[in-house]
């Protein structure tokens, strides 16, 4: 496993569309392991492959609910309600802002064995899924932030 360099805002790679993963490989398994390690090392709760410079539709999430989610080629099938709250991003270090997201999402994705599954999520997990899926399409939360970006305190969660 290895810590990968996290790309930060201004890097054009964060603005590109990611390609779907067609088959699992040793390289992609390694990438997923590295993404978790990189995310944990940075105290993040989610990371998308373009944030480490790889334009593939892969997301990892750990919002400390006891699960390590791997979403390959994720597609949001349903969304409902709304929640407005603070959001940060490992690619926008030291900042956070207020973002409105759906309060519920249902997502379909492939797991590390390329098996399809559906996941229903609410509240913070729903927010994380939306944030990470946006990364796969070149979208950053700063595009939809309400008001100004603010400086972080010592403790904050970033995606
Ligand atoms: Ni992010």
Of the listed 132, 157, 158, 159, which one is catalytic?
Answer: 132
Tell me the per-residue pLDDT of 4-18, one tens digit each, with 9 for 90 and over.
999 999 999 999 999
pTM: 0.95
Distance 148 CA to ligand 1 centre (A): 17
In this predicted structure, what is the pLDDT of residue 18?
98
> Tokens representing 139?
């979208």
Q: What is the DSSP string of 55-123?
A: -BSEEEE--SSS--EEEEEEEEEEEES-EEEEE--TTSTTEEEEEEE-SEEEEEEE-TTS-EEEEEEEH
Q: What is the pLDDT of residue 106?
A: 98
What's residue 1's pLDDT?
77
73 near 115, Cβ under 8 Å? no
Give the burial class of 107: count Cβ atoms within 10 A of its Cβ; 0-12 exposed, 13-18 middle, 19 or more buried: buried
Say what the pLDDT of residue 157 is.
66
Instruction: Name the stretches of the chain with pLDDT < 50.
Output: none
What is the pLDDT, as a whole number, of residue 156?
A: 61
**Annotation says 132 is catalytic:** yes
Structure tokens at 151: 């400086």
């Amino acid at each position: 496993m290895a810590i990968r360099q996290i790309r930060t805002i201004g890097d054009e790679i964060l603005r590109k569309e990611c390609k779907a993963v067609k088959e699992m490989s040793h390289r992609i398994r390694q990438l997923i392991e590295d993404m978790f390690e990189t995310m944990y090392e940075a105290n993040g709760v989610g990371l998308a492959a373009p944030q480490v410079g790889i334009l593939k539709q892969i997301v990892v999430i750990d919002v400390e609910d006891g699960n390590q989610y791997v979403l390959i080629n994720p597609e949001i099938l349903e969304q409902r309600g709304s929640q407005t709250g603070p959001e940060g991003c490992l690619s926008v270090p030291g900042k956070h802002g207020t973002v409105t997201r759906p309060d519920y999402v249902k997502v379909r994705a492939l797991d590390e064995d390329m098996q399809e599954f559906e996941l229903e999520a609410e509240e913070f997990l729903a927010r994380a899924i939306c944030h990470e899926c946006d990364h796969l399409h070149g979208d950053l939360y700063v595009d939809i932030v309400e008001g100004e970006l603010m400086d972080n305190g010592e403790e904050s969660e970033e995606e």
